[in-house]
Amino acid sequence: MKKILSYTALLAAGMMTIIACEKQADKTATFTSASDMAFVNVIHASPNFRQVFNAPDSINVFINNNKVNGALITYGGTFPTPATSLSGYIALAPGLQNIKLTVAGRVTPDSIPLTTLSKIFSKGQKYSLIITDAIQNARDSSKILLPDVYTKPNPGSYSLRFVNAVSTDTAGTLVSVFSTRRNAHIFNSIAQGGVANFQSFPYNIQLNDTLYIRRPGSTYNLDTLNNVSFSNQRVYTLIYRGDGRTNVGTKARALVTYLHE
């Protein structure tokens, strides 16, 4: 009888161990790593948002009907910021996702939908959604939803790309970016809504740069970004944004940079 009881106790202990292992395996199976997700950041670069949408330019962002931002995003703002999320991106499941922009209404804080974008996001890929005055245009190029395709720069260098997101520019005109440090144009003849891919540039802790926006073949500066500093092994987007008709005011044409990582 004692042997039977001992065998029974051992069998029960074994079963408990198997059940515990199964529970632990279940927990492990539900873990989602960063490599299984897609990532997106939102940049508000629509200076004439109020005129285009006839609504305040303070917006919220919904992904599949779930609000993802905290404070309202206004012109010049981003969501998320590097201080609140890994490299300024929000994680989302890969596959088809609906991104909706809304403004506050009288009934609920988000009762007025402005526009919805439906896109397939790839696993492990980062994206930037740059909101411009043409966000409602059916053409994908007007929405400026960009895959952020880059590799980590080698030591002693940084990566930079250029986006011409300026609004109300003269139809058919192009812009170039001139670097005083290099005494040369680093991006050439980019049309409105156009994108120049990431390029690698040498880093020097002792040297800043001043960048100018110009028409190709001209030395007249449409805008200037003074004493800009790029850090070692960092990745940036340089954006020409704002109202292309003026260089006065908070929404005038301007060069700005955004850090990716």
**What's residue 105's pLDDT?**
63
Residues 63 and 133 in one domain: yes
Domain count, the chain: 2
Residues 130 and 220 in one domain: no
**What's residue 66's pLDDT?**
87
- Is residue 51 within 8 Å of residue 108, measured between CB atoms? no
Tell me which DSSP letter residue 106 carries.
Answer: S
User: Is the sign of the CA dihedral 251, 71, 53, 148 positive or negative?
Assistant: positive
What's this model's pTM, rounded to 2 decimal places?
0.80
How far apart (Å, rounded) are the C-alpha atoms in residues 74 and 71? 9
**What's residue 7's pLDDT?**
39
Residues 157 and 115 in one domain: no
**What's residue 171's pLDDT?**
80
Q: Between the CA atoms of 90, 96, 97 and 98, what dihedral angle is there, to the nearest 10 degrees? A: 160
Residues 93 and 168 in one domain: no
Is 24 a domain residue? no
Residues 127 and 219 in one domain: no
**What's residue 15's pLDDT?**
41
**What's residue 165's pLDDT?**
93
Is 70 a domain residue? yes
Residues 113 and 185 in one domain: no
Extract the residue ranges of the chain whose pLDDT is less than 70: 1-34, 82-87, 104-111, 136-143
Q: Supply the range of the domain harboring residue 115.
A: 33-149
Q: Can you give the CATH number for the domain in which 108 is found?
A: 2.60.40.1120
Residues 156 and 259 in one domain: yes
12-to-2, 16, 19, 20, 244 alpha-carbon distances in Å = 15, 6, 11, 12, 77
Q: Can you give the CATH number for the domain in which 159 is found?
A: 2.60.40
Q: Which of 151, 172, 173, 171 is nearest to 161 (CA)?
A: 151
**What's residue 24's pLDDT?**
38
Which of residues 107, 127, 149 is at a domain's end? 149
**What's residue 82's pLDDT?**
62
**What's residue 107's pLDDT?**
58
**What's residue 72's pLDDT?**
85
254-to-11, 142, 166, 225, 243 alpha-carbon distances in Å = 74, 19, 8, 8, 8
**What's residue 9's pLDDT?**
43
Is 82 a domain residue? yes
